[in-house]
Chain A
Amino acid sequence: MAASISKEEVAHVADLAKLNFSDQELEHYTGQLQEIVGICEKLAAVDTTGVAPTYSVTPNVNHLRADEPVDWQQQQALLDQAPESAAGLIKVPAILKQED
């Protein structure tokens, strides 16, 4: 088990989570993650040989129902919630860069 987390690892995780941190924040989060991971490392002391993991406590896997389309009639209401919309679509900044 990882004994310590490096600043580089924290930077990588931040990148995966799409969070920007300043160098100072990165230091801060490295220290805090270190401490929290330290608590979580206690788990290593538990013998879990042959123990099945539990990801959900409910025995329900799926409730099946007829696959019928329902029109919630909410297109405009949904568009009204978008920070920017145009022509019945949600508007975002350009995704493709223009070649010079």
Chain B
Amino acid sequence: MTYHFFEQDLTSLHQALQAGDVTAEALTKGAFENIKASDPDLEAFVRTHEESALAQARAVDEKGDFSHFLAGIPMAMKDNIATAGLETTAASRILQGFKPVYDATVTKRLKDAGAVITGKANMDEFAMGGSSETSYYKQTKNAWDLTKVPGGSSGGSAAAVAAGQVPYALGSDTGGSIRQPAAFNGIVGMKPTYGRVSRFGLFAMASSMDQIGPLTRTVKDNALVLSAIAGFDEHDATSVDLPATDFTAKMGQSIAGLRIAVPKEYFQEGIDPVVASQVRAAIAQLKDLGAQVDEVSLPHTHYGVAAYYVLMAAEASSNLQRYDGIRYGYRAPEAKTLEEVYRETRSTGFGPEVKRRIMLGTYSLSAGAYDAFFKKAAQVRTLIIQDFDQVFEKYDLIVGPTTPTQPYGIGEEIGDPKAMYLGDALTIPVNLAGLPAMSINAGFNAGLPIGLQLIGKAFDEATLYQVAAAFEQENDFTKALPDIAAKY
């Protein structure tokens, strides 16, 4: 029996496995059939691992323990999350051939649950980019239109799920890298509260903002996957020790009386009128469902991009110092002295966007620029946090667009870093403040999806899922299938 992932969710797959209607091996083979049929066009995977995935699936079948809701179900892992023994490169040449000797905590949690890792999803190199165009290896396409970018940096994770190759994927989000590709591919993407999910084994970009989160086709699937990966981890000192949470707990509850804030600034930052009107229509639906909706101001939104790029680049340039060609990955073969190993490995191992951010970060941390850039940006970060705090005194959540535009053509913006950076204007403030935020599909225009962003109070993901589920229920966007689905 073949399972079409568009017609199933994690709950129905779980029930079928428990009932013995399907085996983990059959599901996994189904995922690889999908991948083989669509990935030559989509290029969502940097690499697949059919052998180890089938071995994992058979092991679950033999054990017969399907008690965990993810047991026996195939998934895609972003290529910057460590998987022991499976090449993990963050889509960079500098990590070519690198096989981690340990599992990231999220990998371990999924493996312990019986999940099946089908392969590593393509991404922007070291998660630096919003179009998956900076990958050293491949150009992932948008699942709805192969001439458009899938977003990024978790573009492979989003495209794989949207195209029905696998039921879910993990991504990482430092400035929008889960929410923006989720918006561009019309699926659900959650950036959890900073500290909710362990970062151990996530290749660091900006450590004060990085978070791992799920990309799924439905809201409930998303809440389930987050429940599986969240929790304290002694290997990540910034992970937070909170009791286990059932993120589906409030789903199905009425949103009547919930107080929703709509920041006026989120409709100003170069926003495409088509995106604005679709998101306004979505907000009107939430109002019809009984939510109290008011316009508010987050006055420092305008400075988010600048503060983010200074702080992110500073942290990234420090984190990327470790890539020196000595202990793992790529070493420039022609280097003759130790100094040449460092310089030539880094110069030929990193791509242009990574170098740009290393340069910006090194510059903003250098003696002459530190106060004017790094410290100033950290102060503006405080003001952005205070903006959110004030709104959350009176409101339960904030709603607006995820991105200023719809997906653009491949190659259109890659030569213009400034335009790319401004595309992150609506997702960045959340990372600066460490808040949870998700993107869900608000509908289509010209065959391409538009993302609705929900931002919550710290550690209040459950309310975001409640509102997202209510919105999803009112619409039938998850029934729409991309053309690529005709391949299987």
Cβ of B484 under 8 Å from chain A: no
How many A-B Cβ pairs are below 8 Å?
166
A14 touches B341 (CB 8 A): no
Given A74-B101, A92-B326, also A46-B303 (CB < 8 A): yes
Interface residues of A in 23-47 (CB under 8 A from B): 29, 32-33, 35-37, 39-44, 46
**Chain A nearest CB, measured from B451 CB (Å):** 24
Query: Per-residue 0/1 for B181-200: is the Cβ within 8 Å of any A Cβ (1 yes, 0 no)?
Result: 00000000000001100000
Q: Is the interface of A mostly helix, strand, loop or mixed?
A: loop
A53 touches B343 (CB 8 A): no
Residues of A contacting B366 in the complex (Cβ-Cβ under 8 angstroms): 13, 16
A42 touches B101 (CB 8 A): no
Cβ of B201 under 8 Å from chain A: no
Question: Once bound together, how far apart are the Cα atoms of A33 and B362, in whole Å?
Answer: 11
Residues of B contacting A46 in the complex (Cβ-Cβ under 8 angstroms): 300, 303, 376, 379-380, 383
Residues of A contacting B379 in the complex (Cβ-Cβ under 8 angstroms): 46, 48, 51-54
Question: Once bound together, how far apart are the Cα atoms of A57 and B384, in whole Å?
Answer: 12
Question: Once bound together, how far apart are the Cα atoms of A72 and B279, in whole Å?
Answer: 50
B358 touches A17 (CB 8 A): yes
Interface residues contributed by chain B, number (CB under 8 Å): 70
B362 touches A13 (CB 8 A): yes
**Chain A nearest CB, measured from B382 CB (Å):** 5
Contact of B346 among A18, A37, A93 (CB under 8 A): A18
**Chain B nearest CB, measured from A38 CB (Å):** 8
B310 touches A58 (CB 8 A): no
Cβ of B418 under 8 Å from chain A: yes
Question: Once bound together, how far apart are the Cα atoms of A88 and B317, in whole Å?
Answer: 31
Residues of B contacting A56 in the complex (Cβ-Cβ under 8 angstroms): 208, 238
Question: Once bound together, how far apart are the Cα atoms of A82 and B330, in whole Å?
Answer: 9
Most buried by B among A18, A54, A65, A92: A54
Cβ of B372 under 8 Å from chain A: yes
B363 touches A33 (CB 8 A): yes
Q: Which residue of B lies closest to A20 (CB)?
A: B347
Query: Per-residue 0/1 for A69-98: is the Cβ within 8 Å of any B Cβ (1 yes, 0 no)?
Result: 000101001100111100000101111000
Interface residues on A, range: 35 or more
A44 touches B372 (CB 8 A): yes
**Chain B nearest CB, measured from A58 CB (Å):** 5
Question: Once bound together, how far apart are the Cα atoms of A58 and B309, in whole Å?
Answer: 20
Residues of A contacting B307 in the complex (Cβ-Cβ under 8 angstroms): 43
Contact of A52 among B309, B360, B382 (CB under 8 A): B382
Residues of B contacting A17 in the complex (Cβ-Cβ under 8 angstroms): 317, 346, 358-359, 362
Question: Once bound together, how far apart are the Cα atoms of A39 and B356, in whole Å?
Answer: 14
9 new A-B contacts at CB < 8 Å, known A17-B358, A29-B356, A81-B101: A13-B366, A40-B364, A40-B377, A46-B300, A52-B379, A54-B379, A58-B238, A72-B102, A83-B326
10 A-B pairs in the complex with CB atoms less than 8 angstroms apart: A2-B369, A33-B363, A37-B373, A39-B309, A39-B418, A43-B373, A46-B303, A58-B194, A60-B238, A93-B335
- B residues contacting A by CB (< 8 A) are 98-99, 101-102, 194-195, 208, 234, 237-238, 240-241, 300, 302-303, 305-307, 309-310, 317, 324-331, 335-338, 340-344, 346-347, 350, 355-356, 358-360, 362-364, 366, 368-369, 372-373, 375-383, 385, 417-418, 421, 432-434
